[in-house]
Amino acid sequence: MMTDMEKTFSEIDKLLDLDNQKREELITITRSAIRCSSIAIRHLHRKEISNAQKKIQENKEIISRINELALEMRPYPFGMVNSANQEYVEAVFFYSFLQGEAFPSFAEIKVPYLAYLHGIPDFIGELRRFILDTLRKKDSIDLAVKALDLMDELYSLLVTLDYPAGLTHNLRKKTDFVRNLTEKTRGDVTLALNRLDLVNTLNKTLQSYLPSNTRKEQE
């Protein structure tokens, strides 16, 4: 009887050793994937589109290996895999936004659908950063409004997925965070628009007090 148990334990030991090797590889490559995504996002904020595209392409191969390896493991290592995939989704979405391209589906970029969903709130966080940078640099206010509208639209989609936290890995918590972030950003954009309206009104008022020949010279 014990001989059979020893044989069983020997088989389990081999399986655990194999899974441990895969786990070690997974830890290494998930770190690489997260680093690649972070660098790509940094390039995107600096408008270094070509460099960002290279990093996203490089990460595509790493993500593919991560998801392939994870499926072979027991149990499925959701935490590590989800972090790497959602960072990748965040970078891909931000790139698509800046390029004016349609957002890809989870199937098109070959990531698990839960990681895809969890990456969208992170992308919305990058949109807020983009909006604040746009307002601070006094770039086009229309671009900031467009990004805010996108935050609204994505939140509206996320809130429709009303499923238990155990099934979605607490997506609702991130969705609630997105709602608060969107409202806060709406306040920032509204304030900027009000300031712009005030400046335009003051300019028009000042122009009306100037002599006609002075106004023509300024025009």
Domains and CATH numbers, the chain: 15-111 (1.20.58.190), 114-219 (1.20.58.2140)
Once rounded to an integer, what is the mean pLDDT over residues 31-52? 95
- Between 16-25, 70-79, 104-113, 165-174, the lowest mean confidence (pLDDT) is in 70-79
Which two tokens mark 182? 């969107």
Residue 17 near residue 59, CB atoms below 8 Å: no
Which DSSP state fits 160? T
Q: Tens of pLDDT along 2-24?
A: 678 788 779 878 988 888 898 89
Between 9 and 127, the more confident residue is 127
Q: Please report the pLDDT score of residue 205 as a whole number.
A: 60
What Cα–Cα distance (Å) separates residue 164 from each residue in 158, 161, 167, 169, 172?
14, 9, 5, 8, 9
Q: Hunting for tokens 């002075």 — which residue is that?
A: 214
Q: Please report the pLDDT score of residue 197 as a whole number.
A: 56
Q: Is 213's pLDDT higher than 60?
A: no
Residue 117 near residue 170, CB atoms below 8 Å: no
Q: Tens of pLDDT along 162-178?
A: 889 888 889 999 999 99
Tell me the percentage of the chain whose pLDDT exceeds 90. Answer: 58
